[in-house]
Amino acid sequence: MTICAATNNPGKLKELRRILEKAGFAVKSLRELGIDLDPEETGATFAENAALKAAAFCRASGLPTVADDSGLCVDALGGAPGVYSARYAGAHGDDEANNRKLLAAMQAVPEGQRAARFVSAVCLMLPNGRTLTVQGECPGRIGPAPRGHNGFGYDLLFIPDCVGAGAGTLPNTAGRTYAELADEEKDAISHRGRAMEKLEAELPRFLAAGAAE
């Protein structure tokens, strides 16, 4: 199956492509398909925004489309930035400004109260309108300063509770951020990786049900 990866974010595209191709799908980017869209994310939840994006890009591409809406939810901030993660500081996709604002908001929060989680809702939409939506989460905490170079968004600040190790996971005793993990270490525990695992597991049943209709 050839799938349209519905994102304009280069870091997210790289991650989606890596995960989808590993699962056996052919992936086309928006650039490869000649699609220039930026649908407004008006949903109140990650799942609603993922569905909005999947629908827009599925119509434009005519292909089965995978769209992700993800973000960071910080306990001490009442779940913020949440669905506003990409535009937390105002401008959409300004990672440095978003990270600065988050660090400022967390400045007085002590170490033991910096719990957070990354959340990813992934929606697969077929050209006939059928959808499959799954969600994955990765628990962790917010670090005191940016660290690492292998990531984007809040990856430089987010310290996951565990890291991937072979076919399993290990406690993140070294306190490495998402951006300090190798790709395989991150994919095994990441919110997006976990959502894509669910998508892969549920896809045969979803496709079979559609064929029987």
Q: Given 38, 68, 69, 75, which residue is catalytic?
A: 69
Amino acid type, 62: G
CA 14-20-22 angle, 5° bins: 100
* Of residues 157, 199, 156, the one with CA closest to residue 179: 156
Q: Which helix (H) or strand (E) holds 67?
A: strand 65-74
Alpha helices (H) along 62-190: 95-105, 183-187
- Establish whether 69 is a catalytic residue: yes
Are 119 and 191 in contact, with CB atoms under 8 Å apart?
A: yes
Pairwise CA distance, residues 4 & 28, whole Å: 5
Residue 146, helix vs strand vs coil? coil
Q: Which residues are known to be catalytic?
A: 69
